[in-house]
Amino acid sequence: MEYKTYHIEGLIEFIPRVFRDDRGWFMETYSDKMFEPFGIKPAFVQDNQSVSKKGVLRGLHFQKPPYAQGKLVRVTSGRALDVAVDLRKDSPSYGQHVSCVLDAEQNNLFYIPEGFAHGFMALEENTTFLYKCTNFYHQASEGGILWNDPALGIDWGTAEPLVSPKDEVLPLLQEFDSPF
């Protein structure tokens, strides 16, 4: 498995080897060993899946400690613009973001550790998004940052995505007191 790191510490994109022949293809989608070069030992406890229409934007979400979640995300059909925003108070990259395109044809995965807000936008119809989480969902610990906060400068590629009413009223970064 190949990988790519980003300017924000902790974010890793994995590109698995795909073995193709006349029968189809095979790939390993997860192994603890993929994290060994980074000294990370995530313990994933929950898998989630969503299907979105083209233009649907979900995020930017996180869970507060002690229910914070690391995530390993990928798409199995379609494509999504995936975004992680650093919310770690003492990080030199606080408030900065990384985006990558997750593509079912490329089969890439993106690891987002605890301390980040996460969101994605479906770039194709019926984009199926899967994510492994290092902690269970805990409703009272939900949090988020407004997807179009000008301070974040995220280029979603559109000014009018389909966003839930809940995500439209999330706070701006400047109004936010990070628990990380």
Every domain of the chain and the residues it spans: 2-175
Among the listed residues 97, 111, 118, 131, the single catalytic one is 131
Assess whether pLDDT exceeds 90 at residue 159. no
6 catalytic per annotation: no
What pLDDT, on the 0 to 100 scale, is given for residue 2? 94
Find the distance separating the first CA and the last CA of the chain, reported in whole Å. Answer: 30
- SS3 assignment, position 107: coil
Q: Tens of pLDDT along 97-139?
A: 999 999 999 999 999 999 999 999 999 999 999 999 999 999 9
* Among 11, 7, 3, CA closest to 115: 11
Give the residue carrying structure tokens 């229910």.
Answer: 67
Give domain 2-175's CATH architecture: Sandwich (2.60)
Among the listed residues 3, 30, 61, 138, the single catalytic one is 61
**127-133 and 71-77 strand pairing:** antiparallel
Number of Cβ atoms within 10 Å of the Cβ of 148 = 17
Q: Tens of pLDDT along 10-31?
A: 999 999 999 999 999 999 999 9
Question: Per DSSP, what are the bridge partners of residue 56?
Answer: 162
Confidence of residue 62 (pLDDT cuts 50, 70, 90): very high
131 catalytic per annotation: yes
Which residues, other chains included, contact 3 with Cβ-Cβ below 8 Å and sequence gap of 6+?
12, 13, 14, 15, 34, 37
